[in-house]
Amino acid sequence: MSERKLEFLGYHRQDGTVGTRNYVGVLSAVVCANEVVEEIVRRVDGTARFTHHQGCCQTPMDIGQVTKTLAGLGNNPNLYSVLIVSLGCESTDLDAALDGIRANGKRAELLIIQESGGAARSIAQGVLLAQEMAREASYAKRESAPLSKIMLGMKCGSSDTTSGLIPNPAIGVASDLLINAGATSIIGETTEFIGAERIIVRNAANSKVSDEIIAMVDRMEKRAMAVGQDIRGGQPTQGNIKGGLTTIEEKSLGAIAKAGKSPFQAAYEYGERPRVSGLVVMDSPGREPEILTGLAAAGCNIIAFATGRGAPQGFPFVPVLKITGSRTAAIKMSDHIDLDLSAVIDGMLTIEAAGQQIFRELLAVASGGKTKAEILQYTNSMDIYTRGPVI
Amino acid sequence: MKIDAIMLNAEDNVATAVQDLEKMQMARVRFGENILEVQITETIPYGHKFVMKAMVKGEPILKYGEVIGTATEDIAVGQHAHVHNIESTRGRGDLR
């Protein structure tokens, strides 16, 4: 890359992280509070919502996951401050979530619907509180930040065979460039490591890391097998098969190309904040709402998303850059695709050059350039990954 | 120059079409800096795979230099390779 000093413009937070966006996050503590969250966010400019379907009538393991995920989302650098909306009788541990956010010096407020006197009064109170919080947030300014403050999330979805040939390896090149500048990249989708174990072992920083990742993959495969089903019913998806992907192994090998050439430094649980820089793995399923939420909860301030057939999903407060190698997707799904790399097929662009293009685009978006999903507000892809039954 | 398919690793026995390919056409397959020519024997949709080296039933299918499944029948060069003649060996809760 050029000898010019590489940096981006972001919002510096008290805990040392840097946001690429600056919202007041309005987070729902439980499925039953979603409507109030949506109304507050609809009325108040400068806010971003997080709604989901969890938080009550679940096993303690899953309730713990919901609490940790809310704290993680609240700590995402793209949020200036946080308003949690609770129904009042759910199982989510509100104190733990609020304390987890305030511990980083961030303002976190709580609105309880059953104490405010119903949805109508809660919406009115929430709008007034969020308005004041949004005004405070609006004074924050973008300032230059080193690339080590980028935490990139990587994901591929609605894949076809071009995903593994073009955008995934190109994202790998961009991720390597960021990592060489001190950044952190997170790859999730544990299901899509099935069949790619040899690559994990070869690229892991040490055997402890490769053992941890392989144990996670094994756990995910056993979870799918425990219900006595053939994983082929769901992975690859019917859309993947139509696109030419034959087996989960093939999908995995294409997906893991996003990891680039950097060594795997660590493996983390869903939504856990990485404690090292470089390339790390996060345990997560492949479905968009759950993985985008997990990446946001882990602290990702930007996400690179490769697609073959044209995946539209965005996230409310983390920009999701859509990248394709398929000309068909670039044309047919033009309102969702930010970067078209199909020139690789014509022999006009190498994977290396395509990766540098992604790298430059990521820095532009990190500095305030908007993704198509943000502009069209196609940003509803969110939910918390849980493992147990709803009871 | 426009290419018809991509092969990724010297060990691979399949290539991936990046255009819709017609029966009996010669396909230009890019492998690194080289172009290989293969006679296509049936319609191959964009994004689907075809066989580069003949294989017998039970043989592993290699892409990215790694195993992506097993051939469920003998497959000749230029034939379509997909779910009708390849099966996965992983996550098979149905085989326990």
Q: Is the confidence at residue A154, as pLDDT, over 70? A: yes
Average pLDDT over residues B38-59: 96
Instruction: Determine the Cα–Cα distance for residues A297 and A61; give it in Å rounded to an integer.
Output: 17
Give the pLDDT score at A197. 87
CB B23 within 8 A of CB B41: yes
Residue of B16, B68, B29 whose CA lies nearest to A243 = B16
Contact A228 B96 (CB under 8 A): yes
Instruction: Determine the Cα–Cα distance for residues A206 and A182; give it in Å rounded to an integer.
Output: 19
Structure ipTM: 0.92
Residue in A with minimal Cα distance to B32: A350
Span A23-138 CATH architecture: 3-Layer(aba) Sandwich (3.40)
In which band, very low, low, confident or very high, does the pLDDT at B2 lie, cut at 50, 70 and 90? Answer: confident
pLDDT tens per residue across span A341-368: 999 887 788 889 999 999 999 999 999 9
Place of tokens 């964009």: B46
Instruction: Determine the Cα–Cα distance for residues B50 and A200; give it in Å rounded to an integer.
Output: 27
Instruction: Determine the Cα–Cα distance for residues A116 and A122; give it in Å rounded to an integer.
Output: 6
Q: Which residues of A touch B47 (CB under 8 A)?
A: 160-162, 243-244, 308, 326
Give the pLDDT score at A4. 56
Per DSSP, what are the bridge partners of residue A187?
A154, A281
Which are the contacts of A367, defined by CB distance < 8 A and separation ≥ 6?
A8, A9, A10, A20, A142
Contact A161 B87 (CB under 8 A): no
Q: CB count, 10 Å around CB of A56?
A: 18
Tell me phi and psi for residue B16, to 5 degrees. -110, 125
Residue in A with minimal Cα distance to B81: A246
pLDDT tens per residue across span A39-76: 999 999 999 999 999 999 999 999 999 999 999 999 99
Which are the contacts of B51, defined by CB distance < 8 A and separation ≥ 6?
B13, B14, B75, B76, B77, B78, B79, B81
Q: Delimit the domains of chain A by residue range.
A: 23-138, 145-375
Per DSSP, what are the bridge partners of residue A12?
A18
Residue of higher predicted confidence among A278 and A200: A278
pLDDT tens per residue across span A100-142: 999 999 999 999 999 999 999 999 999 999 999 999 999 999 9
Residue of A283, A279, A280, A281 whose CA lies nearest to A269 = A283
Q: Delimit the domains of chain B by residue range.
A: 5-95
In single-letter form, the type of residue at position A351 comes to: I
Of residues B3, B30, B91, nearest to A231 (C-beta): B91
Tokens found for residue A278? 């470089």
pTM across the whole model: 0.91
Pairing of strands A264-268, A184-187: unpaired
Average pLDDT over residues B27-33: 85
Q: Which residues of A touch B67 (CB under 8 A)?
A: 195, 249
Residue pairs spanning A and B at CB distance below 8 A: 108
The C-alpha of A227 sits at a distance from chain B's nearest C-alpha, in angstroms, of 8
Q: Is the confidence at residue A2, as pLDDT, over 60? A: no
Give the pLDDT score at A367. 98
Residue in B with minimal Cα distance to A256: B64
The C-alpha of A246 sits at a distance from chain B's nearest C-alpha, in angstroms, of 5
Contact A227 B83 (CB under 8 A): no
Q: Is the confidence at residue A234, as pLDDT, over 80? A: no
Q: Is the confidence at residue B20, as pLDDT, over 80? A: yes
**In chain A, positions 335-354, which contact chain B (CB-CB < 8 Å)?**
345-347
Contact A244 B3 (CB under 8 A): no
Give the pLDDT score at A31. 97
Q: Is the confidence at residue A1, as pLDDT, over 50? A: no
Worst-scoring range by mean pLDDT, A2-6, A25-29, A332-336?
A2-6
Give the pLDDT score at A248. 86
pLDDT tens per residue across span A303-340: 999 999 899 999 999 999 999 999 999 999 999 999 99
Contact A244 B82 (CB under 8 A): yes
Give the pLDDT score at B91. 61
Class of domain B5-95: mainly beta
Residue in A with minimal Cα distance to B65: A253
Residue in B with minimal Cα distance to A240: B47
Which are the contacts of A71, defined by CB distance < 8 A and separation ≥ 6?
A96, A97, A100, A101
Give the pLDDT score at A220. 85
Q: CB count, 10 Å around CB of A4?
A: 6
